[in-house]
Chain A
Amino acid sequence: MSRNAFAWYMQRITGALLVPLLIAHFWVEHFMSKELLRGDLTYTAILARISNPAWQAIDISFLLVALYHGLNGFYNILLDYGKIGRRGANVALTLIVAVGVAWAVWGVLAFHNL
């Protein structure tokens, strides 16, 4: 399978994964309790959940899948509209991967003091 075909499949697989993950995320952050339904998403309201390693694993996986899907989608748009050529595409991809890694680390470090 070529790299492009692999990316094409991955975009669909990660998209399909994001549907249940996002439904769960919306549910636990906005609908699960009266407090959250009011929109009072405070530290105390989420502490029990986010200090649970299982939930941290789910949240981190969610972030990684979403980042891959989002940044790959961004790269696709860039290829479609930004007449950047093959060299430009490689530079863009390198930059996007670097941004993605930094973004992922930034997100994962949210949990480092719990």
Chain B
Amino acid sequence: MTPPRILFRTYVVPLVGMTAFWIQRVTGLLLLFYLLIHVETVHHISGGQAAFDGAMATFHNPFFRLLEIGLLLVVILHALNGVRIIIIDAGVRSKHHRKLFWALAVIGGLAIFIAGALPMFLNSVVRR
């Protein structure tokens, strides 16, 4: 008896859906934590120029520039995976789910990340 093809495909790229599920949870928590730090920094605007620039001074170094690029990556992962979830919930048939995952991950995610990270890296890390 020929084994069902789906078993073979599951073996080649294991647990794509589960990986995506965990990516969404972990990046979601990271972004919520980032929002806390972000609001903390931004609320210094009400203290005027010295207060805000003082609060921002912590982040003006290559280490935080790189973290900022990491933030872009986390945002892209969460956003595109979220788009994937909305598309799937809208009723796309399950045989297309894996294709959708790789299309969004590779074409969307990688392209957007490179387009965003490259100018950020060149301008704020390399040319500082």
Which chain A residues have a beta carbon within 8 Å of chain B's beta carbons?
Answer: 12, 15-16, 18-19, 22, 26, 30-31, 34, 37-44, 50, 63, 66-67, 70-71, 73-74, 77, 103, 106-107, 109-114
Contacts of A109 in B (CB 8 A): 43, 46
A113 to chain B, nearest CB (A): 5
Evaluate contact between B75 and A16: CB separation under 8 angstroms: no
| B83 lies within 8 A of A43 (CB) | no
Report yes or no: A63 in contact with B79, Cβ–Cβ below 8 A.
no
* CB-defined contacts of B82 to chain A, threshold 8 Å: 15, 19
Inter-subunit contact A39/B29 (CB<8 Å) = no
Q: Are B124 and A39 in contact (CB under 8 A)?
A: yes
Contacts of B42 in A (CB 8 A): 107, 110
Chain A interface helix/strand/loop/mixed: helix
Q: Produce 1/0 per residue, B68-106, CB < 8 A to A.
A: 100010010001001101100100000000000000000
A77, B83: Cβ atoms closer than 8 Å = no
A26 and B83 contact, Cβ closer than 8 Å, known pairs A37-B124, A74-B29: no
| Residues of chain A with a CB closer than 8 A to B28's CB | 70, 73-74, 77
Task: Please give me the residue from chain A that is nearest to B122 by CB atom.
Answer: A37
Interface residue range, chain B: 35 or more
Most buried by B among A12, A30, A31, A34: A30
Instruction: Give a binary string over B32-68; 1 marks a CB under 8 Å from any A CB, 0 the rest.
Output: 1001100100111111110011001000100001001
Cα distance, A3 to B28, chains bound together (Å)? 22
How distant is A49 from chain B, measured CB to nearest CB, in Å? 11
Contacting residues, chain A, for B25 (C-beta < 8 A):
77
A-B contact pairs, 15 of them (CB 8 A): A15-B85, A16-B86, A22-B75, A37-B119, A37-B123, A38-B128, A42-B52, A43-B53, A70-B35, A74-B32, A103-B36, A110-B43, A110-B44, A111-B46, A113-B45
